[in-house]
Amino acid sequence: MPPYSLEDRLVIGIASSALFDLAESDGVFRKEGEEGYRVYQQANLDNTLQPGAAFSFIRRILSLNDLNPAGDPLVEVIILSRNDPETGLRVMRSIKSHGLPISRAIFMQGRAPYKFMRALHMSLFLSADEKDVREAVAAGLPAGRVLGSAVADHPEDRDLRIAFDFDGVLASDEAERVFQKDGIEGFRAHETLNVANPHDAGPLQDFLREINKLQRREEERQRENKDYTIRVHVSIVTARNAPAHERAILSLNNWGVRVNDAFFLGGIDKGAIMDVLRPHIFFDDQESHLRGTSQTTPSVHIPFGVVNQVEGAKASE
């Protein structure tokens, strides 16, 4: 029998800290150390962990496997954890209790598991561990730190709304570097001058490409069954506005990816948009934007590019 292949699937790695609410467990670890943590997890083995910030996103994206009912899933989610296998038992039992179709996991006692991302063809790694995420991004891997806590989720609701910032997330930080050096007028002049030159790819461009594949599968299903309702909806929410919007749109076209909606806000608070848009996950490279959005929206910090260099230096000290 040939080995199970992860190629041609959307593969997401997720730490237990992003999938579940581990605030109490982390408190035990900080107070009582590794052995106390081990005893605590064993004592609570059958106490199901409650959903964390990324739980709804993971549940909904896994539900899209019903687009390929032949038992050949389009989406795979794999646990990447710093727990050892023994303390990881509670995570796996909680996954089963919540009915999530996740069966694969890597448990590495106290060590960063993101190094296996390329071997597992992962398009995204989510964790609440800032150090792991920064190291992964520095290694050129698509990773993000989940902020905030779980929001109300309705199991019968299967829609999936995903929102991305543009610069430093889907695109490189080229424009942000110009903005930092020359200010807003220099940025606008640079983008107008280079309007026909697509941006280089950012850390999550391939992830968007994989999401687009799921959207195309949904469109096929709708052509086969006119009663099928499209579930996946993708937006960009960016501080760009005219005239800098044009290069963003042309870059998406050149990359061969697409979004359903675009919000060119020109500095308007993104949190106000999130309150209406209500995405199940939002990716941005600037923590200042996410402080507001993470109060109501599962938010992910992508520590990429020039705006994160100072913070990254502080985190490594």
The residues of the chain that CATH labels 3.40.50.1000 are: 10-147
Looking at residues 292-306, what average pLDDT do you find? 93
Percent of the chain whose pLDDT exceeds 70: 97
Q: What is residue 209's three-state secondary structure?
A: helix
pLDDT digits (tens, 9 = 90+) for 99-156: 999 999 999 988 889 999 999 999 999 999 999 999 999 999 999 999 987 887 877 7
DSSP states along 60-84: HHHHGGGGSTTT--SEEEEEEESS-
Residue type, 222: Q
Distance CA 117, CA 123 (A): 8
Tell me the β-bridge partners of 77: 12
* Interacting residues of 200 by C-beta distance below 8 A, sequence separation 6+: 171, 172, 174
CA 89 to chain centre: 24
pLDDT digits (tens, 9 = 90+) for 196-255: 899 999 999 999 999 999 999 999 999 999 999 999 999 999 999 988 899 999 999 999
Asked whether the predicted pLDDT for residue 317 surpasses 50, the reply is no
What tokens does 167 get?
A: 């610069």
Distance CA 28, CA 22 (A): 10
**What pLDDT was estimated at residue 310?**
58
Band (316; pLDDT cuts 50, 70, 90): very low
pLDDT digits (tens, 9 = 90+) for 17-55: 999 998 888 888 888 888 888 888 889 999 999 999 999
Beta carbons of 245 and 265 less than 8 angstroms apart: no
**What pLDDT was estimated at residue 176?**
87
Tell me the β-bridge partners of 262: 236
**What pLDDT was estimated at residue 254?**
95
* Average pLDDT value over all residues in the chain: 91
Cα torsion 2, 103, 297, 147: sign: negative
Cα torsion 77, 54, 157, 237: sign: negative
Asked whether the predicted pLDDT for residue 86 surpasses 90, the reply is no
Q: pTM for the full model? A: 0.93
**What pLDDT was estimated at residue 307?**
87
What CATH number does the domain located at 160-315 have?
Answer: 3.40.50
Looking at residues 75-84, what average pLDDT do you find? 94
**Which residue is listed with tokens 């109300």?**
152
Looking at residues 56-82, what average pLDDT do you find? 93
* CATH superfamily, domain at 10-147: HAD superfamily/HAD-like (3.40.50.1000)
**What pLDDT was estimated at residue 144?**
98
Residue of 236, 9, 26 whose CA lies nearest to 149: 26
Start-to-end CA distance of the chain, whole Å, equals 49
Tell me the β-bridge partners of 164: 236, 283
Mean pLDDT is lowest, of 128-137, 186-195, 267-276, 306-315, for 306-315
CA dihedral 165, 166, 170, 171 (to 10 degrees): -150
**What pLDDT was estimated at residue 22?**
87
